[in-house]
Amino acid sequence: MTDEAKIVATGTWFYDRTVPRQIWIYAKPAHMAWSRFDDNDQLDESRPIPKTKDGFLYFCFPAKSGEYLTIDEVKEWANAQPWGPIIWD
């Protein structure tokens, strides 16, 4: 995770439908997109910066959601997972 990422939403999901667990949605600058890093986790400046709606990409942690263009898109992804839905704060 990059130092430039910031928490923009939090929620709770239930492991085994009984044990509460936290989940966070982070926003990070598009220039730090995972697609811009090589196999050695080094930023490759020659790779394009993804076009976004607001200059940020959004992802869930600790889930492996991938990067989304909006908070709503990543919330939709999280809610659709087998361990969802999430109770968003």
CA angle in degrees (0–180, nearest 5) for 62-76-17: 60
Residue 13 located in a structural domain: yes
The span from the CA of 54 to the CA of 5, in Å, is 14
How high is the pLDDT of residue 2? 59
Mean pLDDT value across the chain = 93
Categorize the per-residue pLDDT at 84 as very low, low, confident or very high, splitting at 50, 70 and 90.
Answer: confident
- Number of domains into which the chain is organized: 1
Q: In the chain, which residue ranges form alpha helices assigned H by DSSP?
A: 71-79
Structural domain of residue 75, as residue ranges?
A: 6-88
Residue 17 located in a structural domain: yes
CA angle in degrees (0–180, nearest 5) for 79-73-30: 135
Residue 1 located in a structural domain: no
Contact between 23 and 78 (Cβ < 8 Å)? yes
